[in-house]
Chains A and B, each alone.
Chain A
Amino acid sequence: MCSHRILTAVIFYTILIVPGRANDDRGAFRLPEVVPAPADNKPTPERIELGKMLFFDPRLSGSNWISCASCHNPSLGWSDGLATAMGDGMHALSRSTPTIVNSAFNRFQMWDGRFRSLEEQVWGPLLASAEMHGDPQEIVKKLQSLPGYVQAFEKAYPGEGITKETVAKAVASFERTVISKDSPFDQWQQGDEDAVTAAAKAGFVLFTGKANCIACHQRPDFTDHGFHNIGLRGNTDEGRYLKVPVKVLKGAFKTPGLRDVALTAPYMHNGMYRTLEEVVNHYDRGGDNKENPDPNLKPLKLTTQEKMNLVEFLKSLTGREQVITLPRLPQ
């Protein structure tokens, strides 16, 4: 009897209170004006410019052919449009390329969260034999042999030289400039009622209410920085559990942020869904794989119109286009 009352109260709260609160709580989804950076690597124009050169330079890879931008392509939402990434020797990897967009706000990097900061993350793909297959000493030697880089490092990190640390710091500084902002959703949140469609507004109410996407895709960047098993059919990748062997993490992956999500298809850690409609249908079913699913997952019973509204809302999260000019690399 008591639990029935609690359940009724929870349903009432979820359906009625949360949507109202979300609409009255404008500004809660606003990202910080200042992008966070470590105390020993505050951004400067020189650091960002150097990081951009390194990001687009394929000579950092073992094959001299793959740059960070090969997979994190700014023309494809800073991802690659592939279900799973393509690494050294054109071999397919088992997970999809996460976008760089707003990674500055991530508390954990990579699908399994194995790195905390962007600085830590940089050398992961650079050295992985299946990815860029670089050699740290070779990379540093190569950069030291190019006067343009020697000068750029000296300007960016005076007296620190060209080292693994300064390479990571520079790339991270550039990545922190890849920010999605001023989306129609943001403009609506700041008071412009005409910035988004009625369908997108209805989708936001569903997102924070009946569909309960907000349980994991939390404000302000639409992520809880957490790890969840979302019940993907046929998934055998144990994800975060391989790093932290706690049962709830078996098959769990990091909650991606959703800004610019319409630009980063395909979706999920293995890229199994090509469209946002397929993603919404997945959650509407409450997931498929019933082995160790996140307890937040349950069938949503959304109508066709509600599903369309959710997709409209997700599309309203596309930020203003950031113009990227390709750097001329030191020869």
Chain B
Amino acid sequence: MNKPGVVRLTAASVLILWGAAALGSEEFVIEQKDKDFWYQGVKTVTLKVKVGDVIQFKNMDPYFHNVFSLSDVKMFDLGSYPLGQSKSVKFEKPGKVEVECAIHPQMHMVVDVK
């Protein structure tokens, strides 16, 4: 019953990956842990990415987190989601994007898009 959906999803993922690879864009994973942003096991307040890169924000805490930005360069609100879930954002314009968790505003980082 679910299989066609899975196949379509997989095909779509392959297309996205192929597209990303073709453009040279990367995907970064930022973990939300102990009410901080972490990249590759290090607390992170600034992350440099390129135009077209994607950041996946993954909640590692046993309570809900949110991710949003009201920056002019990239405005988004990923809503709130629980432990283990993640949501992604693509950064399409250069500039500095301030990213926060609205629920826990001590969680704050800057994505520097080059």
Contact = CB atoms under 8 A, between A and B. Distances in A.
The dominant DSSP class at the B interface is loop
Nearest to B80: A248
Given A295-B80, A295-B82, A246 B102 contact: yes
Given A248-B80, A295-B82, A226 B62 contact: no
Contact of A246 (B62, B66, B106): B66
B79 A247 contact: yes
A77 interface: no
B68 interface: yes
B77 A226 contact: no
Contact of B103 (A107, A226, A245): A226
Interface residues of A, number: 24
B105 A113 contact: yes
A60 interface: no
B50 interface: no
B33 interface: no
Contacts of A244: 70, 102, 105
Contact of B104 (A10, A225, A245): A225
B64 interface: yes
A6 B85 CA distance: 12
Residue in B35, B68, B83, B105 whose Cβ sees the most chain A Cβ within 10 Å: B105
A112 B68 CA distance: 18
B105 A108 contact: yes
Nearest to B66: A248
A326 B40 CA distance: 53
Contacts of A46: none
Interface in A1-29: 6, 10, 13
A78 to B, nearest CB: 24
A122 interface: no
Contacts of A246: 66, 68, 70, 77, 102
A227 B105 CA distance: 8
Interface in A144-172: none
Contacts of A247: 77, 79
Given A224-B35, A294-B64, A295-B64, A248 B106 contact: no
Interface in B83-114: 83-84, 102-106
B63 A296 contact: yes
Nearest to B103: A226
A6 B82 CA distance: 12
Nearest to A215: B63
Given A294-B64, A295-B64, A295-B82, A248 B102 contact: yes
Contacts of B106: 107, 225
A91 B103 CA distance: 32
A227 B77 contact: no
B63 A216 contact: yes
A215 B79 CA distance: 18
Closest 3 CB pairs of A and B: A246-B102, A226-B104, A215-B63
16 contacts: A107-B105, A215-B62, A224-B35, A225-B106, A227-B103, A228-B103, A244-B105, A245-B70, A246-B66, A246-B70, A246-B102, A247-B77, A248-B79, A248-B102, A252-B103, A294-B64
